[in-house]
Amino acid sequence: MPKIPLFDLPVLPQNRLPLHLQLQKTRVFCNNDAPTNTEDITYSGAYAALGVDNSLKLDEFRNNFKVKVIKLNEEDMEFDLIGIDASIANAFRRILISELPTMAIEKVLVANSSSVVQDEVLAHRLGLIPIKVDPRLFDYMSENDVPNEKNSIVFSLNIKCDRKTGERLTVYSHDLKWLPFGSEYVLPTENSSDPSSKPKTYTSFTSSQDSFPEFSDNPITVTPGIIISKLGPGQEIELEAHAVKGVGKTHAKWSPVATAWYRMLPEVVLLQVIENEDAQKLVNKCPVNVFDIEDMGKGVKRATVARPRACTVCRECIREPGWNEKVALRRVKDHFIFTIESTGALPPEVLFTEAVKILEDKCESVITELS
């Protein structure tokens, strides 16, 4: 930072900080050895001595907050949140990973398994398969609840490897069949008093899930193509899997995102004019081509920062001695580049909206608890 005498500092309008303090408030300095200035200056009276009010003004927040969507398709999305604090961005990320509900296989009833894969390993693998259904259509099932059409989904897997061919058979996730009428396995009860009534199964579906408007044209499927197991000749698997609603906090199989992460926008600033040989060196050093050479005419070539967003802050450009004064690597503290990769249950933009709703609900529950 160049040192300017106190009387030469630029005069700013009221309620604006001097430039060096603004830099300290809004940028993380990524130095050669470690990042500095990483703390958030959120205290409302932090700049009280200067007469600047640092408190939260909702109108200012509303005016300054921006969202820019960079990429959006059914599986993942990348968007920018500008003007929000790290604690709230992190809260969204944590909720996306662990507190958004999904459906996943929880109970596996194995009728027959002669495969080499142990039952519990098979059940664990089945649990991790993503189920493409909107979890908001289902209710949670507690210990005392009976499994019915509102809180569980039943899949069956009946597969046998033919002995004649002599080849191994791969069991894929699309071999799981959805049973909209519920479980087909009968409960082992001694009930000979009523032979004409339907035998009780492991689930009590009063109506078929097929009849629900959401599922009538849209059968519930799992992500296809995932290898569950392999069978040798003559081996077979016969099982039923029941899926229930849960959150990622309990077990990672219920997490609706493959992952969700954010990074702060990197800022690359050339502190000095870099020309000719130095400029070429700089362009060659950067592995992601952040810098470009600009021809200034008269044989003078200058380096410019072309793609700061692509910078991975690998610090190659400031590694050698002396380059620290030429290039400054910083991160903008309130600009977050979010990436959400969904597993297929819900599209990523819906996931983010639900995550924000969950944070609102948490605040509401705190307010009601205090009142």
Q: What is the CA radius of gyration of the chain?
A: 29
Residues in 343-362 that interact with other proteins by CB under 8 A: 349, 352-353, 356-357, 359-360, 362
The reply on whether position 43 binds other proteins by CB under 8 A is yes
Q: Which of 184, 253, 176 is nearest to 219 (CA)?
A: 176
* Residue selected from 56, 111, 187, 269 as contacting other proteins according to rule CB under 8 A: 56
Distance in angstroms (rounded) separating the CA atoms of residues 331 and 299: 34
* Residue selected from 21, 52, 94, 202 as contacting other proteins according to rule CB under 8 A: 94
- Reading phi first (left if > 0) and then psi (alpha if -120 to 50, else beta), residue 171 is in beta
Distance in angstroms (rounded) separating the CA atoms of residues 307 and 189: 70
Q: Which is nearer to other proteins, 11 or 370 (CB)?
A: 370
Question: How many helices (H) and strands (E) in the chain?
Answer: 7, 16
Q: Which is nearer to other proteins, 61 or 140 (CB)?
A: 61
Q: Which is nearer to other proteins, 72 or 305 (CB)?
A: 72
Of the chain, the end-to-end C-alpha distance in Å amounts to 50
The reply on whether position 177 binds other proteins by CB under 8 A is no
Q: Which is nearer to other proteins, 46 or 293 (CB)?
A: 46
Please give the helix or strand (H or E) that residue 270 lies within, else none: strand 257-270
* Residue selected from 3, 33, 34, 62 as contacting other proteins according to rule CB under 8 A: 62
The per-residue b/e assignment along 303-331, b for 16 or more CB within 10 angstroms, e otherwise, is bebeebeebebebbbbeeeebbebbbbbb
* Residue selected from 11, 34, 146, 363 as contacting other proteins according to rule CB under 8 A: 363
* Residue selected from 24, 26, 54, 324 as contacting other proteins according to rule CB under 8 A: 54
Q: Which residues is 242 bridged to in the sheet?
A: 107, 154
The reply on whether position 52 binds other proteins by CB under 8 A is no
Distance in angstroms (rounded) separating the CA atoms of residues 266 and 282: 17
* Residue selected from 21, 52, 84, 117 as contacting other proteins according to rule CB under 8 A: 84
Q: Which residues bind other proteins (CB under 8 A)?
A: 40, 42-45, 53-56, 58, 61-62, 65-69, 72, 79, 81, 84-85, 87-88, 90-91, 94-95, 99, 349, 352-353, 356-357, 359-360, 362-364, 366-367, 369-371
